Amino acid sequence: MASGIKDKVAILGMGCSNFGERWNDNAEDLMIEAYVEALADAGIEKSQIEAAWLATAIEEEHVGKSAVPLSMALRLPNIPVTRVENYCASGSEAFRGAVYAVASGACDIALALGVEKLKDTGYGGLPQRNRGSVNDLFWANASAPGSFAQLASAYSAKHGVNRDDMKRAMAHISVKSHDNGSRNPKAHLRNKIDEDKVMNAPMIAEPLGLFDCCGVSDGSACAIVTTPEIARSLGKKDLITVKALQLSASNGREAQHNSWDGSHFVTTRAAANRAYKEAGITKPRDQVSMFEVHDCFSVTELVTMEDLFISDEGNAVKDVMDGFYDADGKIPCQIDGGLKCFGHPIGASGLRMIYEMYLQMQGRAGDRQRKEEPVFGMTHNLGGFPHQNVCSITIVGKEGA
Toward other proteins, which CB reaches closer, 26 or 143? Answer: 143
Local structure of residue 371 (DSSP, 8 states): S
Toward other proteins, which CB reaches closer, 266 or 395? Answer: 266
* Other CB atoms within 10 Å distance of the CB of residue 249: 17
Residue 139 main-chain phi, psi, to 5 deg: -70, 145
Q: Annotated catalytic, 88?
A: yes
Give the count of residues interacting with other proteins (CB under 8 A).
Answer: 46
Q: Which residues inside 256-285 make contact with other proteins, applying CB under 8 A?
A: 256-258, 261-263
Among 75, 78, 129, 400, binds other proteins (CB under 8 A): 129
Residue 189 CB-half CA count within 13 A: 23
**Does residue 151 belong to the site contacting other proteins (CB under 8 A)?**
yes
∠ CA 118-379-8 to the nearest 5 degrees?
115
Q: Which residues inside 234-253 make contact with other proteins, applying CB under 8 A?
A: 251-253
Toward other proteins, which CB reaches closer, 124 or 366? Answer: 124
Distances (CA, A) of 295 to 57, 303, 340: 17, 10, 6
Among 3, 47, 130, 282, binds other proteins (CB under 8 A): 130
Binding string, 196-215, against other proteins, x = CB under 8 A?
------xxxxx-x-------
**Does residue 133 belong to the site contacting other proteins (CB under 8 A)?**
yes
Listed in sequence order, the residues at least 6 apart from 266 whose beta carbon sits closer than 8 Å to its beta carbon are 248, 250, 253, 254, 260
The CA-based dihedral angle spanning residues 212, 216, 220, 224, taken in that order and rounded to the nearest 10 degrees: 30
Q: Annotated catalytic, 344?
A: yes
- Given the residues 178, 264, 344, 380, select the one marked as catalytic: 344
Cα–Cα distance measured from residue 246 to residue 223, given in angstroms and rounded to the nearest whole number = 18
**Does residue 122 belong to the site contacting other proteins (CB under 8 A)?**
yes
Residue 165 near residue 183, CB atoms below 8 Å = no
Among 149, 281, 290, 308, binds other proteins (CB under 8 A): 149
**Does residue 150 belong to the site contacting other proteins (CB under 8 A)?**
yes
Toward other proteins, which CB reaches closer, 75 or 123? Answer: 123
Residue 119 near residue 21, CB atoms below 8 Å = yes
Which residues make up the interface to other proteins (CB under 8 A)?
Answer: 121-123, 125, 128-130, 133-134, 136-143, 145-147, 149-151, 153-154, 156-157, 202-206, 208, 251-253, 255-258, 261-263, 385, 387-388
Indicate which residues carry an active-site annotation. 88, 344
